[in-house]
Structure 1
Amino acid sequence: MSGAEFYHWIAQHPHWAGWAVFLIAMAESLAVIGMLVPGVAMMFAAGALIGAGALAFEPVCAYAVAGAVAGDGVSFWLGWRYRERLRKLWPFSRHPGMLDRGVAFFRRHGGLSVLLGRFVGPIRAVIPLVAGMLAMPVPRFLIINVLSALLWGPLYLLPGMAFGASLELASQVAGRLAALLVALVAVLWGTVWLSKHLYAYFRPRAHGLILRTFDLCKVHPRFGRLALPLLDPTQPDYPGLLAWALLLGGGAVGAGWLVPGDRMPVSLAAWRHPWADYGLTVCAELGASPAVLAFCAGIGGWLWHRGQRLAALHGLIGVGFAATLGALTGGLQRAPLVDGPVLNGIAAYGFAAVLVADRWRGPVYGAAALLVVLIAFGRLYTGAGDFLALGFTLGLGALWLVLVGVAYRRHRAPGTPSDGLVVVAPLALMAIAAALAASHGPEDFAYRPAPVAIRTADWLAGGWSALPAHRLQTFGRPDQALSVQWAAPLAEIRAWLIGAGWREPRAPSPSALLGTLRPDTGIAALPVLPHFNQSEADVLRLIRPTTEGRWLIVRFWPSGLRLAEGDVPVWLGSVAFLEARQILGLVRFSEEQVGDPQAWDLLVAQLATRAGVMVQSGPEGRQALLVLPGKPP
């Protein structure tokens, strides 16, 4: 699914997006759960979709308010129902300070605390619970709950709306790069957030989990044959690791036959940019066999030299399983469910983190997770990896890393030093990354395919339908059709259209930007920014008023096609109405209102007076206006 298709899905199913906002707002307001849900970030994302035009403000805000009211209402009911018994329930039984702080805040501010608590992070998720526990009158709570939600919804959406609107403007100039950076930052932030919370959850419980696993092994001997060799230091762990490798490997191969890795297509082609191609290609290659082998050779050699052969052997087992399974599934299956480079990265860099993380476990594990996610994102971005396969591999690799890491830590000698590896591992990684970066450059990706020559008769007979039907973009409606194909030198197209009443739009300038702050600025005085089709900005844009008072805009991009007779280039064009839009009543700018067939009809009617113009129909109702070379009027 491309970015445009996702946008189209959101636009066609706004009620699903609304329900998602409702659930987010409700979860963010629920007792205890609100502490775990990154509701602020999710509401910011919903606001960004509103600002970008994918969602309408009023219904989304209504869903957010309803979710906030419902979440606080459920929390209040729980407090009213269980009262002091809450102190004996988890998590308050283990963390009584959570309730104590909420009670103190409520007694200090009374009913106003329900309003204030909606916006105060540390006690937000317990105040409604405390209000019910302390028997706040129900009518009073309901009034304050609704009023606070009416304030909370818009305030939490507005920052994202402003960001999304500004990003929508920026996307007209460098949309793929700007949006890609936002998406990458969001993915990396989510990785850090998840790593931090998982580590915080499992660290104090690790010893208890091991003891419970021992008990489970006694009850289930078959499970014990798999688990005990990894956990019991008195037993050799290599047979257990081999058994787990066969079990996981067989399961992965079988799952790949049942569910191909390309079952859930996701394309980031609309986000491509030469600089992003460069950086993310380097990231993706960190999981390739040459980089992983170089890293393992450096780390393994250092471990062997220092006498830490147990660590070196466990690392070899971990990476050997990943390399073998990746090669096996890649050779046997058309669309394997295992992404070899990502699995290699988890095994190599993840196990290095296990070796290093004696003192700074949280930051080290977080850094390793970031690196693996960068590899996965790079493969998805470059089209080398499939979304479903990447998700499956991340889960499979994490499980395998846990097994190898637990086996190593349970069998290593106490006090095994890792101080030197804290320096060696990052240096080896940086050296490999530098070598990969030096082997590429942005200029390697900033290329334009060689033009394809076609005879005029073949172009008219059906060759035109091989060109893209829609503009490939990051933001904007996916129904922005490239419904014009004009064969002529660009200067000829410009001259003909200007002679027919079209004009150059106002270019961005300091004075033009000041005009965007005036609420009465007309279309002709507003700057018109370039649009991108894949990696190409439009090479010509012209506007023209209609008799109804509306404005039309045409844009043209290179098609990569040339007519063999005379070597004439063919340009892809779009036509749409241009209207003024205002952000939060402050900034005014021009925006295309695509999808209105009347705009195309008006252009067809105007070009009908020109020789060499025809309308062709293609599959799935596609229509194109084909214009042959001619002379300006």
Structure 2
Amino acid sequence: MQSEFVTALLGWVTAHPGWMGAVIFITAAAESLTIVGVIIPGALIMFSLGALIGLGHVEFWSAYWWSALGAVVGDAISFWIGRVFHQGVRRVWPFAKHPEMLARSEEFFRKHGGKGVLFGRFFGPVRGTIPTVAGMMDMTWRNFMIANVVSAILWAPAYLIPGMAFGASLEIASRVAGRLVVLILLVAVLLWATTWLVRRMVRLFQAHAPVWVRHFYHWSQGRRFIGPISASLLDPSRGELRGLAILAVLLLGSIVLVGLSLSAAGQQLPSGLDQSLYHFFQELRTPWADAWMVFTAGLGDYWVILPLSVVVLGWLIWQRRPVAAWHWLAALGFGMATNLLFRWLLPSSSATEVALGAPGYAFPSSHATLNMLVFGFLAVLIARGVSPARRWLVYLAAAFMVVPVAFARLYLGVHWLTDTLAGLSLGLIWVTVLGLAYNSHATAVAVPWRRLLAYSLIVLLATDAIYLIARYDADLQRYQSQPVTRVIARERWWQDDWRRLPQQRLDFRGNRRQDFVLQWAGSSEDLEKRLRETGWESAPPVNLRGLLLCLSPQVELRELPVLPQIHDGSEDDVRMVRYVPGANARWVLRFWDVAARLKGDNVPVWVGSVSRQKLEPRMRLFTLAIDDPQTRAPVDLLAPAWKELRSRTVKGANPNEQITLIAN
């Protein structure tokens, strides 16, 4: 239902370009209004519009001029409001409740003058209010409109082009595999959500945490159990060892009790949600995503984390920062304790092992806990020396290490969702406790955060390089799914068992994308040799030069690479082309090894597809080589390659297509 709605919406957009122009104009104008623009997420809207342009559903120049014109009109109205109402604007919501919104723009305008209108459109905190402030400060209409028009002309492409690049990448990815598009969208949403959450949480804690901590401290005093713990953690005159030790025991004991209680009550992990998500990610797997996810998961490997931890500890001792070193040891010790304790009391099996029938569960993930502890508390040490306005960037950098690693391990089937979330939550709780204790007991001595950041980055890059050399290939092989080989008697395959092999290319959720019209029994070397002898050649490789040529509006088809395609998570193994004389088109022949072997001689059986590609320019900015699904291969296109071989034509699952069987 949802895909049908999206398809209908895109169809309406394509069929009504005039209405789309009006929508773009109104949206850009509203995003530029002084009050409405504070609420509307303009950057996200323009990015989404750029994605539609990149996907070919909206024309670039029309969207560009309509958005620029809307921005000019919206800012002009905002300027007029400031000129007419002057200081009365301060009494209107949301400025009456949040006067700092206008204060930032006033400071920006006083500092930059007329240039503030030109550059303010690109500066998020003052984006929606700088035109109104310019009007309140009696800037002339002439000077304002010059800056307004110039900034709008520059602003539209600056916000559209990233979305266009994202949309074009989705278009290219969809030609390879729909599952790749789903994965790209998932990663984009995950990173956006992480950024939004970290920024909101850090600002919330900066504004309210001191008050919360003070109230909690006063409330806890006089209470028999909580009072000594809070005093130990929050009172600089008290040692924090006792409080940290008690809280560590409580946290670890609670997790162990929960795990053992679930096991005793028959609530075995993994849950239904864990297993559903595991199979969902297995359907998303592609060779390129596997390679990237193995590398990402390796960033949180013990071979990377432990050397970084040791170097940071040694540097803190060398710099004579005993309080920071002691708290760093507390973070590492807690992580090591979770690893040893949970492995001993809660026997664990990875998601892949359980899927293959191994008993047990993993709760929680000590790997996720240790990653959160190391990068989280490293962020605490660094952020303490950074200005409060920029501390959220430090915590975001730490989150961009922890969250992608956890996501990669979920994708690869190393952990369950419940296991990962529990591990991250446990680590976050302990980092928060350590951060409060550290900031309460280290008020006099600050860590040289720039040098700490530099040393940490150097060690991290060095250990990552060592991991790539020493362990990456082995991990990539270990995490790859191994298909089950089926053995078929030669005559049975020839007569009827060819039906057991795939007849259509399968994509995400089993969607059928393309018919397989060939089955070849023989070696890939013999197949390629016969095709070369009859005019076929190797497909242009996928490399950086070929992908960059897609950005050219004038390019020959021979220069563009043939993108690989995915069937059931596997890339095509043989890819060859034949150019059509006198036409800017080519035939593309692909074969997949589907793990089928003929009994006796172990000859592989390959399934293949044939498609015709043509050039398709997009927005006069770049060019794609796309398949024409309406064109079928002529009968004599491949027949010469099978000359003197045993061949047979049969009717497949699709009544409109025939499958040719060829045996060497």
Q: Does 1:569 align with 2:569?
A: no
Q: Closer, same or farther in 2 for the Cα pair 1:537/1:196, shift >3 Å?
A: same
Which of 620, 642, 657 is 1:585 aligned to?
620
Q: Closer, same or farther in 2 for the Cα pair 1:320/1:425, shift >3 Å?
A: farther
SS of the counterpart of 2:432? helix
**Structure-2 residue corresponding to 1:350:** 376
- Give the number of aligned pairs: 598
Which of 406, 409, 412 is 1:376 aligned to?
406
CA contact 1:262–1:388 (8 Å) conserved in 2 = no
SS of the counterpart of 1:559? strand
Q: Closer, same or farther in 2 for the Cα pair 1:159/1:456, shift >3 Å?
A: same
Q: Closer, same or farther in 2 for the Cα pair 1:17/1:147, shift >3 Å?
A: farther
**Structure-2 residue corresponding to 1:454:** 488
CA drift of 1:402 comes to: 0.9
Q: Distance in 2 between matches of 1:536 and 1:152?
A: 40
SS of the counterpart of 1:397? helix
More deviation in 22-31 or 41-50? Answer: 22-31
Q: Does 1:480 align with 2:513?
A: yes
Q: Does 1:272 align with 2:269?
A: no
More deviation in 212-221 or 375-384? Answer: 212-221
**Structure-2 residue corresponding to 1:124:** 127
Question: Where in structure 2 are the equivalents of 1:157-168 lying within 5 Å?
Answer: 157-162=160-165, 165=168
Question: Where in structure 2 are the equivalents of 1:431-450 lying within 5 Å?
Answer: 436-442=467-473, 445=476
Q: Distance in 2 between matches of 1:78 and 1:225?
A: 58
CA contact 1:167–1:178 (8 Å) conserved in 2 = yes
Q: Closer, same or farther in 2 for the Cα pair 1:498/1:389, shift >3 Å?
A: same
SS of the counterpart of 2:505? coil
Q: Closer, same or farther in 2 for the Cα pair 1:399/1:445, shift >3 Å?
A: closer
CA RMSD of aligned residues (A): 6.8
**Structure-2 residue corresponding to 1:210:** 213
SS of the counterpart of 1:585? coil
Q: Distance in 2 between matches of 1:217 and 1:73?
A: 56
Amino acid at match of 2:399: A
CA contact 1:285–1:375 (8 Å) conserved in 2 = no
Q: Distance in 1 between matches of 2:253 and 2:201?
A: 27
Which of 358, 379, 385 is 1:359 aligned to?
385
Q: Distance in 2 between matches of 1:368 and 1:116?
A: 30
Q: Distance in 1 between matches of 2:366 and 2:47?
A: 35
- Give a deviation string over 1:94-139, Cα, whole Å, max 9, x none: 8624246569999x69xx96x9965666642214655898999xxx
**Structure-2 residue corresponding to 1:91:** 98
Which of 651, 654, 659 is 1:615 aligned to?
651
SS of the counterpart of 1:614? strand
Q: Distance in 1 between matches of 2:124 and 2:326?
A: 47
CA contact 1:355–1:418 (8 Å) conserved in 2 = yes
Unaligned runs of 5+ in 1: 1-5
Q: Closer, same or farther in 2 for the Cα pair 1:375/1:586, shift >3 Å?
A: closer
Q: Distance in 1 between matches of 2:418 and 2:53?
A: 28
CA contact 1:10–1:55 (8 Å) conserved in 2 = no
- Give a deviation string over 1:29-57, Cα, whole Å, max 9, x none: 57689789985477447635642x38655
Q: Does 1:405 align with 2:435?
A: yes
Q: Distance in 1 between matches of 2:410 and 2:623?
A: 36
CA drift of 1:199 comes to: 4.8
More deviation in 576-585 or 391-400? Answer: 391-400
CA drift of 1:582 comes to: 0.2
CA contact 2:375–2:398 (8 Å) conserved in 1 = yes
Q: Does 1:627 align with 2:660?
A: yes
Q: Distance in 1 between matches of 2:258 and 2:30?
A: 35
CA drift of 1:591 comes to: 0.9
**Structure-2 residue corresponding to 1:261:** 274
Question: Where in structure 2 are the equivalents of 1:54-93 lying within 5 Å?
Answer: 83-86=89-92, 89-93=96-100
Q: Closer, same or farther in 2 for the Cα pair 1:221/1:71, shift >3 Å?
A: farther
CA drift of 1:370 comes to: 3.7
The two structures have a TM-score, normalised by structure 1, of 0.65
CA drift of 1:559 comes to: 3.0
Q: Distance in 1 between matches of 2:36 and 2:345?
A: 42
CA drift of 1:160 comes to: 3.7
SS of the counterpart of 1:260? helix
The two structures have a TM-score, normalised by structure 2, of 0.62
Question: Where in structure 2 are the equivalents of 1:171-190 lying within 5 Å?
Answer: none
Q: Distance in 2 between matches of 1:280 and 1:367?
A: 15
Question: Where in structure 2 are the equivalents of 1:553-564 lying within 5 Å?
Answer: 553-564=588-599
CA contact 1:337–1:392 (8 Å) conserved in 2 = yes
Amino-acid identity (%): 25
Q: Closer, same or farther in 2 for the Cα pair 1:378/1:415, shift >3 Å?
A: same
Q: Closer, same or farther in 2 for the Cα pair 1:626/1:223, shift >3 Å?
A: farther
CA drift of 1:585 comes to: 2.0
- Give a deviation string over 1:463-522, Cα, whole Å, max 9, x none: 75465943669xxx96433523412345776688899x98659858999x9999787x89
Q: Distance in 1 between matches of 2:446 and 2:120?
A: 48
Q: Distance in 2 between matches of 1:244 and 1:515?
A: 55
Which of 326, 341, 344 is 2:367 aligned to?
341
CA contact 1:453–1:562 (8 Å) conserved in 2 = yes
CA contact 1:326–1:343 (8 Å) conserved in 2 = no
Q: Closer, same or farther in 2 for the Cα pair 1:426/1:386, shift >3 Å?
A: same
CA drift of 1:404 comes to: 3.1
Q: Distance in 2 between matches of 1:381 and 1:22?
A: 41
Q: Distance in 1 between matches of 2:42 and 2:464?
A: 36
Which structure has more RCO (C-alpha within 8 Å, separation ≥ 6)? 1
